[in-house]
Amino acid sequence: MRTQLATFPKGGVHPKENKDLTRALPIETMPDPSKVSLFLKQHVGAPCQVSVPPRVDAPIDDGLLLAASHPGAVFRLLVHKKERVNVGDRVGDTGNRLGAVLHASVGGMVQGVENALHYQEGKAQALVIQTDPESVPPQYSEVDWRAFSREEIQARIAAAGIVGLGGAGFPTDVKLNVKPGTRLDTLILNGAECEPYITCDHRVMVTYAREIVEGARILLTVLGITYCAIGVENNKPDAIAALNEAIARARADDGFRIEVKPLAVKYPQGSADQIMQSITGRVRPSGQRSSSIGIIVQNVYTTKMVYDAVALGKPLTERVITITGRAIARPANLRVKIGTPISEIVNYLGGTTPDLCKVVVGGPMMGFAVSDLDIPITKTTPGVLFLSHEEVDAQAFGPCIRCGFCLDACPMGLEPNTIGIYVEAGRGAETEPFGLMDDCFECGSCAYACPAKRPLVQFIRLARIEINQARKLKEAREQIRKAG
Amino acid sequence: MATHHSTIPHQSCDGADGHHLLVSVSPHLKSDLTVSRIMWTVVACLMPPLLLSIFVFGFQTLIITLVSVISCVATEAIAQRLLGRPVTVKDGSAVITGVLLAYVIPPGVPLWTPVFGGVMAIFVTKVIMGGLGFNIFNPALIGRAFLVATYPVAMTTSWLSPIRDWAIFKHTGPAVDAVSSATPLYVLKHYGMAAMLEQFGSRATVYKDFFLGAMPGCIGETSALLLLLGGLYLIFKGYIRWHIPVSVIASTGVLTWIFGGERLFTGDPIIAVLSGGLMLGAFFMATDYVTSPNQRAGQIVFGIGVGALTVLIRLKGGYPEGVCYAILLMNPLTPAIDQLFKPKRFSQGAVQ
């Protein structure tokens, strides 16, 4: 007799999980790399500012006042070339604009700001720190966070540079800044980890269940609500057991109700919209925030980092990532410093096998293929895949046979087949009515399911580009008309 | 003109030194389902009725089917070559068309019949419309409709009586003595139920023979049982859904029961459902991805339309048999039905 597991009704696919490579491997700490490259933008919002000489302090205000979490902050230039920093030193800040602060992830000497390869954006500015093996990292000790006010807790989260670690990278303190008058009732911790291959959240839940549950209490305190559901896909029974045990052990009469919700294994279970629907049955209206239906979603690993920030005062300088695939000599769940180049991770794990075909930063469904290993890990990198020939499907694609499998697969009820046909015909700009601008989060379920192997996500991205171009053109024409 | 067969540039993957890594847009995992796997599975599901037809009508049926398949595949290959398009016969779709075309022509036709039908089905219906995925009508059925219109005598009198003495080579050779034994549906239409039962045995015998496949008829539409098994396997594999076959069969049965007798509600739905290629049409023709709707509600509407038109043609039309034209009449409505029944958008379910 199987209990009915909670899940979302519409769409979804069941890719091979491939988690066995790393499922049972305990978290291992990699020694500091020889250098780290810290992207100035590894979060949603404005890029961090750092100082390269000349060093001046200047207030900034360019109208991007989004973050109420830095009220009246005066932006300070923080470091300069050849300066020595220690782990956890603040080296970048976005001032009063939306963003997250950046910390040195190793002790050593600041080399300056360079253009580094970025897996998503080609190249991006990064602060490079040369590691000094002699530097002694600071020690953190636990304090009773219950002594802090809500504002103090949020300030500590902001000061630690915590962003959504699931991949979105939204600054956590800003997410907790719910508009006054919003009626919240549920905090969801997202431990679905529905991407195949990736097991970092899994290991974090098994290893740090106590910290996650305590982090949930911190978040509930900030939000002023009492109920938290931790959604975990049912393929991680040890994580579910560890969390349940931590909840039972940490029973306090503080009125909080925290429970684990086992979820059916179905991709994209870990998408915010889908996990909210799986757990509460509520559906977020298009274009609105999750708080409009009374829910805040946080990734379990982010929650663990929140605990570290608030209870230990520890900034976000390292994270666990899953290094996996059949073309890496030794798969691992590895704790690495933010900014560690993938090439150094590969060397540490004994190199790649000769049949390496594709390297993907992130999960196989939404990650980015890269052509170079000199790419640094960011706060939002859940893992790196080293895929062999047999794991890569490089078939040519054919015409759409109208089978409708992509329609069944799309969790948002869109029509990827139609969008693809429009784009192929050079009419991508006309696809806006199909809802791809608001609702498609490029989960890849459609392209996974397509028997003709059509690159539907690529078509959707092209359609978005064409729609944006058409909008710009329209605006320009309007302006010319007005001027004339 | 869009290119229908783009290819992702293949790069060598000697990525040991971090160079020449394959780069493509996510997702990096694909299901192991391919177009050709679907197509060849359909071909496999269509083989049992062919084997049975050899025992029922003789070895001739295998030859006709082979000629039809070769004609369809060759037409596709030659046409694509001449038009400068990539040759895609490996995907199996032309093979399906060839098999289905053979299944809807009588077993006693001369061998040039499937050749003409194949050219019509593949070249006119599919290739010049743009190839796989771009045809409006079911190619095999256009092939049949063309043959019925052009060679009506061959297509309506080449019936063979079922062989019951295992002499499967009886009808091979140049002079096929086609028995102009009319099909049960023909007798039923023109002479009524009593005459049909007189000719083909008691009602129970007729049911059994229809179900198992010992009846005069087209090559592949005799055995309702084997077609049903093949169709159920496709549903079990998830390649087709139950919505079209069930709505076709149910609407045909119900409407025949209401209108098919002397008085209302006295028609025989079982004969209607077991006869005249309805099973073949319901499971293998009406479910063609390209020419049928792809949402469940639209598929039910489509299926009911096919069933209703089938009954209408059988009872009031000029042909004893209506499945072919019913599907062909519903095919061009597919885009309109797809417009009416779109997938439900996620946020449409937003209820506070």
**Could you read off the pLDDT of B209-229 as tens digits, one per residue?**
888 888 888 888 878 999 999
Greatest Cα-to-Cα distance within chain B, rounded to the nearest angstrom: 82
Q: Do A399 and B131 touch (CB under 8 A)?
A: yes
Distance between CA A369 and CA A29 in Å, rounded? 25
DSSP assignment of A83-129 equals: -EE-TT-EEEB-TTSS---EE-SSSEEEEEEEEEEETTTEEEEEEEE
For a pLDDT cut of 70, what percent of chain B falls above it? 88
Residues A454-469 have pLDDT tens digits of 999 999 999 999 999 9
pLDDT band of A129, cuts 50, 70, 90: very high
pLDDT at A137 over 60: yes
DSSP assignment of B204-247 equals: HHHHHHHHHT-SSS-TTSS-HHHHHHHHHHHHHHTSS-SHHHHH
Report the gap between the CA of B257 and the closest CA in chain A (Å).
Answer: 33
For a pLDDT cut of 90, what percent of chain A falls above it? 73
Q: Return the pLDDT at A324.
A: 96
* Beta strands, E only, A325-391: 332-337, 356-361, 368-370, 383-388
Residues A398-415 have pLDDT tens digits of 999 999 999 999 999 999
pLDDT band of A179, cuts 50, 70, 90: confident
pLDDT band of A59, cuts 50, 70, 90: very low
Greatest Cα-to-Cα distance within chain A, rounded to the nearest angstrom: 74
pLDDT at A70 over 50: no
Name the residue in chain B with its Cα closest to that of A371.
Answer: B21
* Residue A152, amino acid: E
Report the gap between the CA of A483 and the closest CA in chain B (Å).
Answer: 38
pLDDT band of A209, cuts 50, 70, 90: very high
E strand or H helix that includes residue B352: none
DSSP assignment of B152-203 equals: HHHHHH---PPP-SS-TTTT-SS------PPPHHHHHHHHHHHHHHHHH--H
Residues B92-106 have pLDDT tens digits of 999 999 999 999 999
Residues A413-437 have pLDDT tens digits of 999 999 999 999 999 999 988 888 8
pLDDT band of A273, cuts 50, 70, 90: very high
Tokens standing for residue B100: 């289905």
Which among B10, B35, B38 has the least Cβ separation from residue A394?
B10
Q: How much is the average pLDDT of A74-88?
A: 70
Tokens standing for residue A434: 């199909």
Which among A327, A373, A387 has the least Cβ separation from residue B28?
A387
Q: Return the pLDDT at B350.
A: 60
Q: How much is the average pLDDT of B269-277?
A: 87
Name every residue whose Cβ is closer than 8 Å to that of residue A98 and which is 6 or more positions away in sequence: A44, A45, A46, A64, A66, A67, A171, A174
CB < 8 Å to B290, chain A:
401-402
Q: Return the pLDDT at B167.
A: 65
pLDDT at B8 over 50: no
Which among B3, B25, B294 has the least Cβ separation from residue A455?
B25
Higher pLDDT: A135 or B176? It is: A135
Q: Return the pLDDT at B349.
A: 61
E strand or H helix that includes residue B65: helix B60-82
CB < 8 Å to B4, chain A:
398-399, 424
pTM: 0.90
Q: How many CB atoms lie within 10 A of CB A180?
A: 5
Q: Return the pLDDT at B165.
A: 64
Higher pLDDT: A251 or A453? It is: A453
Between the alpha carbon of residue B166 and those of residues A193, A290, B57, B177, the distances in Å are 62, 71, 10, 17
pLDDT band of A154, cuts 50, 70, 90: very high
pLDDT band of A69, cuts 50, 70, 90: very low
DSSP assignment of A192-260 equals: ---SSS--HHHHHHHHSHHHHHHHHHHHHHHHT--EEEEEEETT-HHHHHHHHHHHHHT--SSS-EEEE
Of A190-194, B160-164, B183-187, B273-277, the range with the lowest mean pLDDT is B160-164
pLDDT at A220 over 90: yes
Contacts 24+ apart (CB under 8 A), B122-127: B122/B72, B122/B75, B122/B76, B122/B79, B122/B94, B122/B97, B123/B75, B123/B76, B123/B79, B126/B76, B126/B97, B127/B75, B127/B76, B127/B79, B127/B80, B127/B83
Distance between CA A395 and CA B91 in Å, rounded? 13
Chain-centre distance for alpha carbon A206: 20
pLDDT band of A252, cuts 50, 70, 90: confident
CB < 8 Å to A392, chain B:
13, 22, 28
For a pLDDT cut of 90, what percent of chain B falls above it? 61
Name every residue whose Cβ is closer than 8 Å to that of residue B191 and which is 6 or more positions away in sequence: none
Name every residue whose Cβ is closer than 8 Å to that of residue A153 and which is 6 or more positions away in sequence: A145, A218, A221, A222, A310
Phi, psi values for residue A49, rounded to 5°: -105, 140
Q: How much is the average pLDDT of A202-217?
A: 96
Tokens standing for residue A346: 């590969």
**A196's torsion region: left (phi>0), alpha (psi -120 to 50) or beta?**
beta
Q: How many CB atoms lie within 10 A of CB B335?
A: 11
Of A113-117, B19-23, B301-305, B331-335, the range with the lowest mean pLDDT is B19-23
pLDDT at B259 over 70: yes
Residues A328-378 have pLDDT tens digits of 999 999 999 999 999 999 999 999 999 999 999 999 999 999 999 999 999
Which among B18, B26, B350 has the least Cβ separation from residue A366?
B26
pLDDT band of B180, cuts 50, 70, 90: low
Residues B25-64 have pLDDT tens digits of 999 999 999 999 999 999 999 999 999 999 888 889 999 9
Q: Return the pLDDT at A374.
A: 93
Q: Do B8 and A396 touch (CB under 8 A)?
A: yes
pLDDT band of A53, cuts 50, 70, 90: very low
Interface with A, mutate which of B19, B28, B338 (most A CBs under 10 A): B28
Q: Return the pLDDT at A225.
A: 94
Beta-bridge mates of residue A299: A190
Distance between CA B284 and CA B104 in Å, rounded? 12
Distance between CA A279 and CA A204 in Å, rounded? 21
State chain A's mean pLDDT as an integer: 89
Q: Return the pLDDT at A436.
A: 87
Phi, psi values for residue B42, rounded to 5°: -60, -45
CB < 8 Å to A284, chain B:
347, 350
Phi, psi values for residue B321, rounded to 5°: -125, 130
pLDDT at B178 over 70: no
Q: How much is the average pLDDT of B68-72?
A: 97
Q: How much is the average pLDDT of A292-305?
A: 96
